[in-house]
Each structure stands twice: as C-alpha cells, then as structure tokens.
Amino acid sequence: MAFRQRRERLRSILNGSTCIRPGSVYDPTSIRIAEDLGFELGMFGGSVASLAILGDPDVTLITLTELAEQMRRMSRASTLPVVVDADHGYGNALNVRRTVQELEAAGAAGLTIEDTLLPQAFGIVEPQLISLEEGIGKMKAALDGRSDPSLVIMGRTGTRGGGAAASSFADCLARAKAYDATGVDALFFTGLTTRREVEAISAATTLPIVLGNTQGELDDAAFLRSQRVKIALQGHTPFAASTQAIYDTLKALREGTRPKDLKGLASSELTGRLMREADVKARSGAFLGLKKP
C-alpha cells in the first residue's frame, strides 16, 4: 500500500465520528501483530523508541536518523498507519522541518511536534517549555517541510504534563488556540486529567483532539467522542509485556529449564504468520524456482 493511502486512513479517523485506541508498536513484529489483530492505527512512542533502539530511558538520546530508520523498517513490514512521536523535532524550527521530511520519507502516516525544551537544560530539574512564539514557529516549519499534503502534522503541547512543565491551564489553552491557528491537522495533549479541561479545550479550538492520557474520569468513550477526541492512547504496555516475557524465559533457561518445558511460547503457526512465511514461499517458487517441500 502506498504511503498516501495510509495517511488518508489516518485522516479518515480524524474526520470520523468515533474515538479509536491505537496499538503501541515499535518494530516490524509488533506492528504486524497490531495489524493482524485489527488495530486501525499504530502509535510509535518516543519512550519505546528509545528502549527498543538504544535500551535507554526517554531522555532524548535517540537521534532523528535512528527514529526514522526504525519507522522505515516498520513501514516495510506492514501497511498499518503509524503516528510517530517526533518529540521536539530534534532541534529548532529548521530541524523540525527536516524531521518532517525524514519521517515522511520513512512512511509515517502522521507525527507529533511538541513544545517541550529538549534535551533537558543544565541545572534544571523539572522539564521546561519553549516560548509560545517558538512553538508557533516549529508548527509552521513542520507544515513547510511536508511535501505530501496527506501527511498528518499534530501540534503537541507539554503544558499540563506534570512537573514545572505543567504551567497554568490558561497557558495550555493559549497554546492550543495558537497551534490550532497555524494550520496543523490535530492537537495532541498528554496531561489533561479532568472533563472540565477537555471541554474547555474542545470549546476553544476547532481541530481533532488526541489524548495521551484517558485515565480516571476521562475513561469514557462516549464523553471523548462528544468532545472531538478522535484518538486516545492507552500506554505502551506491549513493550513492557514483551520485556517481562523475555526476562522470564531467559531466567528459566539460565536456571536449567529445558526449552521444551517452557510455557507461553509463540506457536510455529503464529511465528510463520508473522513472518509472512506463505508469501515468502510463494515468491521463492515464482522467482527462484523452488518447489514446495
């Protein structure tokens, strides 16, 4: 499937009447699992990207090249549309422009650009925000870097995100309205926690809303739909689950458990399906003259 078709599917979600929960993906196998299970959308988060690629925490050590290459691997493996957490765009507004170009070429259906000051400043414990004016410049640069108009650009604000970055709700509202006016395709929020906040954002803006947190009183699909929330994340538990499974398996092997006695392993049928083994065998026959055994 061409990249544009994937982006149009994401736009259909943003223009639709429902609120969907994306699957957290981070490599070719996880995205194929999400696709096969029927997820409409994948979310490639910055924290899981850092873990999957570097094994490091989410402290902006990953590079744009590493992020884009991982997205390219997933794009090759699956046709599932993916939204990429592009953090702060890896620098200033000009870097943001290049970030958009690289992720567009890698097959992302959409991406988020945020207004958090990254990497973390020296001597400052809590996360900081860039100015509203710089944030607006980044959103405009992101739009300017887009060559495929179907690529979805989401403006994300770190306000209400916890710690010192969680400035007043008035600041959050002002940034939301300003980013809405730049022409981005959707607004992304991670720190909204009450219905009152979501209602205020919805009333003050016009764009589709994406939420990174829907716990507590926000865990209500009907309410989210009524407030123009089109995508609601549900964390990155698949990576945590896979980490625990690998740890338990290696621990059991180290302690003397025989491979045949291990529990919870993927069947050969499931593994073959995720490898698209039938397709590979068909191509081997058509192009290499290999007969089926």
Domain that holds residue 270: 265-293
Both 147 and 16 in one domain: the answer is: yes
CA distance 70 to 108: 11
Across 24-34, average pLDDT: 98
Structural domain contains residue 248: no
Both 60 and 192 in one domain: the answer is: yes
pLDDT (0 to 100) of residue 120? 87
Both 275 and 216 in one domain: the answer is: no
Structural domain contains residue 246: no
For 270-287, what is each residue's pLDDT tens digit?
999 999 999 999 999 999
Residue 34 has pLDDT above 70, yes or no: yes
CATH of the domain at 187: 3.20.20.60
Both 274 and 193 in one domain: the answer is: no
CA distance 219 to 59: 28
pLDDT (0 to 100) of residue 162? 46
Both 202 and 276 in one domain: the answer is: no
Decide if 223 contacts 17 (C-beta within 8 A).
no
Residue 257 has pLDDT above 80, yes or no: yes
pLDDT (0 to 100) of residue 168? 84
Question: Would strands 23-24 and 229-232 be described as parallel, antiparallel, or unpaired?
Answer: unpaired
Both 41 and 179 in one domain: the answer is: yes
As given in the structure block, the two tokens for residue 27 are 């490599």
Both 82 and 225 in one domain: the answer is: yes
Across 140-144, average pLDDT: 98
Both 201 and 146 in one domain: the answer is: yes
Q: Name the one residue in this structure whose structure tokens are 């259909």.
A: 12
For 118-128, what is each residue's pLDDT tens digit?
998 899 888 89
Both 178 and 276 in one domain: the answer is: no
Structural domain contains residue 8: yes
Q: Residue 239, Cα to own-chain centre: how many angstroms?
A: 13
Both 85 and 181 in one domain: the answer is: yes
CA distance 23 to 234: 8
3-state class percentages of the chain: helix first, strand second, coil last, to nearest 5? 50, 10, 40
CA distance 220 to 224: 6
CA distance 267 to 264: 9
Residue type, position 45, single letter: G
Indicate the pLDDT class of residue 161, thresholds 50, 70 and 90: low
Structural domain contains residue 9: yes
Structural domain contains residue 92: yes
DSSP secondary structure string for all residues of 217-268: GG--HHHHHHTTEEEE----HHHHHHHHHHHHHHHHHHTT--GGG--SPPPH
Structural domain contains residue 260: no
- What is the residue-averaged pLDDT of the chain? 95
As given in the structure block, the two tokens for residue 184 are 């981005």
Q: Give percent above pLDDT 90 in the chain.
A: 90
Structural domain contains residue 252: no
Number of domains in the chain: 2
Collect all residues with Cβ–Cβ distance below 8 Å to 177 and sequence separation of at least 6: 204, 205
pLDDT (0 to 100) of residue 85? 98
For 181-198, what is each residue's pLDDT tens digit?
999 999 999 989 999 999
Q: Quick count: other Cβ atoms within 10 Å of Cβ 15? A: 10
Q: Name the one residue in this structure whose structure tokens are 């205020």.
A: 200
Both 199 and 64 in one domain: the answer is: yes
Angle 6-10-33 (CA atoms, 0-180°, nearest 5)?
Answer: 65
Q: Give percent above pLDDT 70 in the chain.
A: 96
Residue 30 has pLDDT above 70, yes or no: yes
- The pTM of the whole model exceeds 0.85: yes
Indicate the pLDDT class of residue 1, thresholds 50, 70 and 90: low
As given in the structure block, the two tokens for residue 112 are 């988020």
Both 118 and 51 in one domain: the answer is: yes
Structural domain contains residue 257: no
